[in-house]
């Protein structure tokens, strides 16, 4: 698809304006359309076609079918929806469309911006108007291309970033340029601008200003910073002051709404109207224009309007734009005064350029979106406005392509839609128009894409007049602002050096001697000769007056320059005299400083020697101090070891003395018990003898039976009557020895029969816990437990529960006071616990040991209080758990005791 050749329009465009002027006074005419003074005809103006770019969206998934193929950077081929349909000659039907540039699916946002939007920003800085809009079906990526998202910036934020990086050092203070509500601007003085800034600051602190809480309301929908910082443009005029104003409106259901309007959350937006200003420029009446100074501030204002933009959910797009949005960036610039510090207070010198970024809503079919109700009405209005845009461009193309002596121009219906009515100046006037056609290459969107391609093909044939901005010529020196800045820097440097004459320096970067523009072309054979002569006379009078002013200014400057030269000559002579005297003084001071330097060198060498000596002494002191500290540490360690040994010796001595005392007391008690036993035996013998003597009938005893044996038999019979139990064991010892085993009585009750108890528990399962290598007793009677399992080490409760034992026996062997082996049997019941474990409750203790018989005529049964001493040779653990705990600790078994006879593990 190639663009059509430029044709001469039948109706010449109106005289363009570089900036909308608030007053009805006519500005100077442009060079491209300056009227001929003789004939009154307009010279032809250069025209450019609408630049149409194509961007192909990536497929959502690899399995989707596509109906388009990118052939090269400018050509795209569209295949039919049905790949099997062939023409009559058998060739496949394929259509090719040519654009200015085709962005493939892998193209980045930076590539699109550099090719499409960067030239428009250059036009904005130069003072030209530009229009960029995205067109395509719904879900083709128009909003992503224009705005972007939180990761990739779109065209709009990149334009703002490049613009502010270009004018960063040349921005005017806020409120120097103020909108006049009629699409124009006026210049405020420094005092008025300061009052406006203070008032805005007070409103922001009070929270009543229009944008007092923008930072809280903003959302991070757009990336805060670009991945690659753009290079500032070099087309900037450094002698001008710049300010940026933005507006944000939307066309919803063919009505215009201001998205930045100062209205509450509950209040709905008011519909705006489109008007024409004094310079025939279309604008939205009463729209909010916000002056911004940074990119972040501009994006915050955009986010405020974005929240009010109408979005909807459709079948084809989750976030579909239901209105056309227009984001206008207006750059206001004006020249500075002769010193390059303040803006010239003349609004006729203001130049206003505008960049309009339009995000058109996507065209859609109700048969695919299944819209109903409000969504169906929105879709109808969107399609009608897009159809009006296509109609206007088609009629404009036909009017431009008409040839012949009497062409008939069609009336273009700009007023049928708000979007075409608002941008009527671009199509009928001058500027640069670019369009990005967004394509979704899926086979399902074939019909919609074909309509978009036809519209793009037709749009490229429309010609737009090239803008020729007018820059005011004040006759001021170019580069005066930079020169004045450098002069101030130099004066500040001189002041820092302490030169008092720096404050009196003056610099004049005033007028350049120029009489203005070239003399206009004229012819004297025109029928309007008299009026042209009158205009020439006025023009000559203006130039003569300007020449007179310039000559007077030049004479004044010459006089000032002559006076300055005389002053400089006088100062030069004085300075030469002072210089000669200063040279003599300088020579003397130089000689004196040389002598002082020699003395300083000598002193420095001596100081170095002293420093070396001091450093050596300090190192020696450090070494000695270190050695002294080590000796002190050794002494302290020895003292500590000595104190430890002393304490250890004292503690050991105390332990030994306590042990000896306890052993002495124990032996004393044992001797006392033995003596008491002997006395008891003697008393018994005496009682028996007295009974025999007093008895009248004494039975005759065999000769072999002695009185002592008789006494022992009687004692045995008496003990049997009382219920006591005595077991006699036989071993390899002589027959005279005998061992008595008694059971410990329980709180004064009769002792149980151990052998009888073992027979009762024959049905129980015993767990016998004994030492690894027990000492053999050497006796015939051995502890016997039926259905038992012997273990040598018990470390886990599972060993009690896994074997199914119901009885537990702990076997302990120790040496008694006489050195004989003593075996103790601690018996108990195994009781399961609620937590899944088990506990052992000790309820019986048996003590087995060998003991020689005592030869005594009589033998009494020991009482309960002395039973433990006579049977076991020491205190039993029935009244306490000390012995049981000691035995259990030696057998690796934990014991949990309490005050009763029973014990738990």
Give the start-to-end residue ranges of the domains of the chain.
47-82+109-465, 707-904
Residues paired with 435 in a beta bridge: 52, 133
Tokens 């497929």 — which residue? Answer: 59
Q: Annotation-wise, does 255 bind a ligand?
A: no
Q: Annotation-wise, does 695 bind a ligand?
A: no
Region label for 51, one of left (φ > 0), alpha (ψ between -120 and 50) or beta (otherwise): beta
pLDDT at 488 over 50: yes
Distance, in Å, from the CA atom of 277 to the CA atom of 805, rounded to the nearest integer, reads 110
- Token couple for 575: 């300075």
What is the residue-averaged pLDDT of the chain?
A: 76
3-class SS letters over 597-651: HHHHHHHHHHHHHHHHHHHHHHHHHHHHHHHHHHHHHHHHHHHHHHHHHHHHHHH
Q: Annotation-wise, does 141 bind a ligand?
A: yes
Report which listed range, 660-669, 775-784, 869-878, is most confident: 660-669
pLDDT in tens, 474-485: 767 777 888 888
Q: Annotation-wise, does 336 bind a ligand?
A: no
H-only helix segments in 433-528: 446-459, 480-496
At residue 242, the pLDDT reads: 95
3-class DSSP state of 463: strand
Distance, in Å, from the CA atom of 92 to the CA atom of 86, rounded to the nearest integer, reads 5
Confidence of residue 891 (pLDDT cuts 50, 70, 90): very low
pLDDT at 424 over 80: yes
pLDDT in tens, 675-711: 999 999 999 999 998 888 887 544 444 444 444 454 4
At residue 537, the pLDDT reads: 83
Residues 876 and 854: beta-carbon distance below 8 Å: no
pLDDT in tens, 331-350: 999 998 888 888 888 888 89
* Domain at 707-904: CATH architecture: Sandwich (2.60)
Q: Annotation-wise, does 207 bind a ligand?
A: no
Q: Annotation-wise, does 139 bind a ligand?
A: yes
The answer to whether the pTM exceeds 0.85 is no
Confidence of residue 450 (pLDDT cuts 50, 70, 90): confident
Residues 858 and 685: beta-carbon distance below 8 Å: yes
Q: Residue 602, Cβ neighbours under 10 Å: how many?
A: 9
pLDDT in tens, 48-103: 899 999 999 998 887 778 888 888 999 999 887 554 444 444 455 778 899 999 99
- Token couple for 581: 């005297």
At residue 117, the pLDDT reads: 94
Q: Annotation-wise, does 391 bind a ligand?
A: no
Q: What 8-state DSSP symbol labels residue 213?
A: T
Q: Annotation-wise, does 74 bind a ligand?
A: no
Superfamily name with CATH number, domain 47-82+109-465: Kinesin motor domain (3.40.850.10)
At residue 860, the pLDDT reads: 47
């Amino acid at each position: 698809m190639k663009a059509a050749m430029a044709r001469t329009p039948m109706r010449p465009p109106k005289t363009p304006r570089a900036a909308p002027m608030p007053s009805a006074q006519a500005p100077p005419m442009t060079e491209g359309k300056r009227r001929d003074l003789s004939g009154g005809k307009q010279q032809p103006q250069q025209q450019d076609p609408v630049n149409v770019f194509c961007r192909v969206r990536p497929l959502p998934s690899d399995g989707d079918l596509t109906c388009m193929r990118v052939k090269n950077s400018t050509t795209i081929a569209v295949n039919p929806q049905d790949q099997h349909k062939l023409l009559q000659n058998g060739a496949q039907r394929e259509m090719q469309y040519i654009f200015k540039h085709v962005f493939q699916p892998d193209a980045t946002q930076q590539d699109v911006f550099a090719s499409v939007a960067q030239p428009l920003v250059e036009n904005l800085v130069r003072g030209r108007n530009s229009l960029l809009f995205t067109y395509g079906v719904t879900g083709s990526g128009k909003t992503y291309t224009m705005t972007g998202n939180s990761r990739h910036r779109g065209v709009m934020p990149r334009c703002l970033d490049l613009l502010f990086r270009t004018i960063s050092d040349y921005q005017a203070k806020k409120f120097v340029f103020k909108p006049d509500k009629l699409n124009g601007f006026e210049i405020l003085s420094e005092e008025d601008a300061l009052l406006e800034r203070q008032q805005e600051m007070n409103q922001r602190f009070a929270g009543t200003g229009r944008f007092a809480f923008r930072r809280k309301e903003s959302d991070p929908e757009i990336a805060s910073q670009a991945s690659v910082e753009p290079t500032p443009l070099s087309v900037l005029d450094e002698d001008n002051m710049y300010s940026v104003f933005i507006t944000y409106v939307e066309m919803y259901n063919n009505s215009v709404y201001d998205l930045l309007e100062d209205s509450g959350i509950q209040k709905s937006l008011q519909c705006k109207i489109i008007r024409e200003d004094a310079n025939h420029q279309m604008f939205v009446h009463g729209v909010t224009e916000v002056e911004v100074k940074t990119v972040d501030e501009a994006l915050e204002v955009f986010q405020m309007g974005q929240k009010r933009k109408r979005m909807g959910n459709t079948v084809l797009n989750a976030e579909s734009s239901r209105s056309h949005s227009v984001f206008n960036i207006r750059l206001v610039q004006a020249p500075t005064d002769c010193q390059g510090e303040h803006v010239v207070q003349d609004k006729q010198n203001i130049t206003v350029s505008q960049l309009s970024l339009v995000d058109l809503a996507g065209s859609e079919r109700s048969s695919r979106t299944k819209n109903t109700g409000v969504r169906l009405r929105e879709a109808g209005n969107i399609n009608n406005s897009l159809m009006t845009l296509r109609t206007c461009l088609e009629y404009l193309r036909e009017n431009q392509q008409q040839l012949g002596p009497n062409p008939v121009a069609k009336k273009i219906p700009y007023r049928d839609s708000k979007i075409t009515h608002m941008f009527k100046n671009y199509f009928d006037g001058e500027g640069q128009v670019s369009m990005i056609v967004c394509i979704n290459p899926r086979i399902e969107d074939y019909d919609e894409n074909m309509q978009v391609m036809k519209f793009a093909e037709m749009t490229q044939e429309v010609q737009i007049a090239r803008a020729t901005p007018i820059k005011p010529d004040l006759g001021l020196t170019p580069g005066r602002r930079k020169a004045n800045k450098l002069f101030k820097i130099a004066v500040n440097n001189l002041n820092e050096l302490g030169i008092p004459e720096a404050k009196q320096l003056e610099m004049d970067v005033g007028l350049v001697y120029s009489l203005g523009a070239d003399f206009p072309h004229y012819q004297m054979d025109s029928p309007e000769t008299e009026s042209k002569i009158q205009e020439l006379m006025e023009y000559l009078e203006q130039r003569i007056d300007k020449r007179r002013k310039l000559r007077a200014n030049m004479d004044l400057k010459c006089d000032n320059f002559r006076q300055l030269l005389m002053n400089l000559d006088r100062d030069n002579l004085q300075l030469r005299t002072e210089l000669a005297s200063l040279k003599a003084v300088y020579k003397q001071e130089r000689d004196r400083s040389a002598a002082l330097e020699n003395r300083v060198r000598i002193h420095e060498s001596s100081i170095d020697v002293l420093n070396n000596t001091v450093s050596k002494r300090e190192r020696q002191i450090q070494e000695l101090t270190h050695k002294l500290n080590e000796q002190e540490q050794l002494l302290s360690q020895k003292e500590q070891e000595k104190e430890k040994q002393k304490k250890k010796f004292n503690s050991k001595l105390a332990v030994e003395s306590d042990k000896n005392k306890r052993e002495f007391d124990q032996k004393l008690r044992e001797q006392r018990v033995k003596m008491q036993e002997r006395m008891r035996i003697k008393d018994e013998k005496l009682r028996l003898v007295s009974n025999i003597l007093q008895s009248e009938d004494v039975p005759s005893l065999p000769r072999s039976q002695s009185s002592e044996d008789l006494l022992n038999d009687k004692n045995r019979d008496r003990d049997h009557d009382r219920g006591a139990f005595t077991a006699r064991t036989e071993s390899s010892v002589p027959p005279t020895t005998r061992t008595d085993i008694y059971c410990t009585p329980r709180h004064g009750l009769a002792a149980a029969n151990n052998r009888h108890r073992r027979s009762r528990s024959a049905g129980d399962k015993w767990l016998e816990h004994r030492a690894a290598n027990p000492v053999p007793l050497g006796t015939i009677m051995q502890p016997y437990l039926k259905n038992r399992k012997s273990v040598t080490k018990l470390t886990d409760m599972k060993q009690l529960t896994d074997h199914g034992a119901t009885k537990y026996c702990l076997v302990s062997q120790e040496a008694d006071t006489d050195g004989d082996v003593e075996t103790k049997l601690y018996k108990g019941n195994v009781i399961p616990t609620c937590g899944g474990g088990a506990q052992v409750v000790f309820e019986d203790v048996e003590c087995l040991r060998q003991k020689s018989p005592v030869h005594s005529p009589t033998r009494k049964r020991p009482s309960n209080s002395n039973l433990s001493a006579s049977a076991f040779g020491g205190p039993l653990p029935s009244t306490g758990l000390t012995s049981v705990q000691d035995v259990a600790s030696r057998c690796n078994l934990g014991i949990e005791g309490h005050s009763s006879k029973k014990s738990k593990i």
